[in-house]
Amino acid sequence: MSLIRNVEGSELRAFLLAEMAHTVALQAAFLQRFGKKNRPTGENQFEFYREKVQDIFDTYADYDGFMDYEVTGEFEADMTDYLATEGENLIASRNFAAAFELGQASYEVLHEIDIDDSNGVMLTILTYITELWEEVMEFATAKDIEPFFIWATQRLNNKEDFFTEDLIAVLTNLGEEKLEFAPRIVKFADEKMQQIEAGGEFAYTFVLWLEIKLKFAANEKEREKVYQKYWDSPNVRNFKADILWEKGKLSEVEKLLQENLVIDQAAPYWLSEWHELLKILYLQMQDIPKYEGELWALLLVHNKGSESIFLEMKNHFGAEKWPAVKEKIYQKLADSNEIEKLFALEADWRLLLDHTKQTGNFELVLRHAEEIKAAFPKELIQIFTEVIRAEAKTADTRPKYQQIAQKLQKLKKITGGIVAASLLKEELLQKYPRRSAMKDELRRV
């Protein structure tokens, strides 16, 4: 502290200006502490936040207003720093309406900017915004929330995009947090469902609005009306199963899930879901024969070759029974490509090698080369050689040549592989003399 006291005012200001130029969190903290008199309020506050977020974007955008993916990580860091610092300050000062507007302004600008989002930073930032809104809801009054509710419903009426689902989830959370909003959210959900049905399309958001109607139904009688009207929807039946489960009515859950198996017999995704729920249900009921039946049904049919189900079976049957159970699984899935993942899980490398020779799919063998090479060096050398030759035949870009070179490096590490790699390298250089990029990459091996 004595060091700061000894610094001249002009030097300290110059230092702060330099630091704030690239530290968004420091800018926000400085504004919160010293800029209150100049900070806009009311309608101007929303525009203030829009301009601030736009400024952060402009820092990393090029002259045409486009942001390359290489700088999106820094953009994400600055945005989350700003949202965290400003949001915390607004919540601490109980300025909840402004905290909502901070998120709203940020949300709008992020939907307008031109960005290469290959790194997925937009989802991270928008998730941060929804979390800010949900945190504010815990403390805000209905009066504070009202402008946000109007904005959110207008936004959902006018535009649907990749992040619509998150905004609907925020409204759902609002209905749970502030019960006075629940009837209005249900009314809005009704309107959206009518719009979708009138358009003759089953929009992906229809199910989300339908779940809101079920969640916030005034009573069980109203909820039952929704069940009856939309019983064809698996989501509706899934919702009812959850409600019955929460109430401990397990026999009714079982009856409903069995009914679902008949209704959705032509829908593989839902058949898998229902069998998964029956598996969990029977385990909870300690009906072990039925639980084991669902394990087998999932592994062999509805979630064929699932690694998680395979491991669950291993844990359930125990060390004594497992060898016989595993052998039965291998026999049942003998003609399936999914079995290769299970061989790898059990480190049954001999079986994996034999199966891949039949299928010609060596991906798993190459992935587990380090574990296989000590026991089966000759087989592994042969597989690497075949794969490299096949890849070289069609390779036409430097990245593909680099992949071939990487495989040659792995081949060298196998017992007897140094000679095999050297001979194969020379073979490729002679066979493809005009591929200069390939020569460059292979000579580095």
pLDDT beyond 50 at 303: yes
Provide, rounded to the nearest whole percent, the portion of the chain with pLDDT above 70.
Answer: 90
Give the other-Cβ count within 10 Å of 21's Cβ.
10
User: pLDDT grade, residue 289 (50/70/90)?
Assistant: very high
Mean pLDDT over residues 139-164, rounded?
89
Among left, alpha and beta (phi > 0; psi -120 to 50; other), residue 416 is left
* Beta-sheet pairing, 114-115 with 66-67: parallel
Look over the chain and give the mean of its residue pLDDT values, rounded to a whole number: 90
Q: Over the chain, what HEC string results?
A: CHHHHHCCHHHHHHHHHHHHCCCHHHHHHHHHHHCCCCCCCCHHHHHHHHHHHHHHHHHHCCCCCEECHHHHHHHHHHHHHHHHHHHHHHHHCCCHHHHHHHHHHHHHHHCCCEECCCCCHHHHHHHHHHHHHHHHHCCCCHHHHHHHHHHHHHHHHHCCCCCHHHHHHHHHHHHHHCHHHHHHHHHHHHHHHHHHHHCCCCCCCHHHHHHHHHHCCCCHHHHHHHHHHCCCCHHHHHHHHHHHHHCCCHHHHHHHHHHHHHHCCCCHHHHHHHHHHHHHHHHHHCCHHHHHHHHHHHHHHHCCCCHHHHHHHHHHHHHHHHHHHHHHHHHHCCCCCCHHHHHHHCCCHHHHHHHHHHHCCCHHHHHCHHHHCCCCHHHHHHHHHHHHHHHHHHCCCHHHHHHHHHHHHHHHCCCCHHHHHHHHHHHHHHHCCCCHHHHHHHHCC
pLDDT digits (tens, 9 = 90+) for 178-206: 999 999 999 999 999 988 888 866 677 89
Rounded to 5 degrees, φ, ψ at 114 are -105, 110
Residue 268 is encoded by which pair of tokens?
Answer: 């593989």
- How far is the C-alpha of 121 from the C-alpha of 124, rounded, in Å? 5
**Residue 248 above 90 pLDDT?**
yes
35: left (phi over 0), alpha (psi -120 to 50) or beta: alpha
pLDDT given at position 218: 85
pLDDT digits (tens, 9 = 90+) for 326-335: 999 999 999 8
User: Taking residues 417-439, what's their average pLDDT?
Assistant: 93
First to last CA, the chain: 57
Q: Using one digit for the tens of pLDDT, what is the confidence trace for 5-25?
A: 566 656 666 666 666 555 655
pLDDT digit string, tens, across residues 263-272? 999 999 999 9
Name the residue type at position 340.
E
Residues 48-92 pLDDT 10s: 999 999 999 999 999 999 999 999 999 999 999 999 999 999 999
At which residue do the structure tokens 């109980």 appear? Answer: 94
pLDDT band at 36 (very low <50, low <70, confident <90, very high): very low
Q: Give residue-wise pLDDT tens across range 90-118.
A: 999 999 999 999 999 999 999 999 999 99
Percent share of the chain, pLDDT over 90: 80
Q: Are 20 and 27 in contact (CB under 8 A)?
A: yes
Asked if residues 304 and 337 have their Cβ atoms less than 8 Å apart, the reply is no
In angstroms, the CA 312 to CA 333 distance is 17
Q: What are phi and psi of 144, to 5 degrees?
A: -65, -35
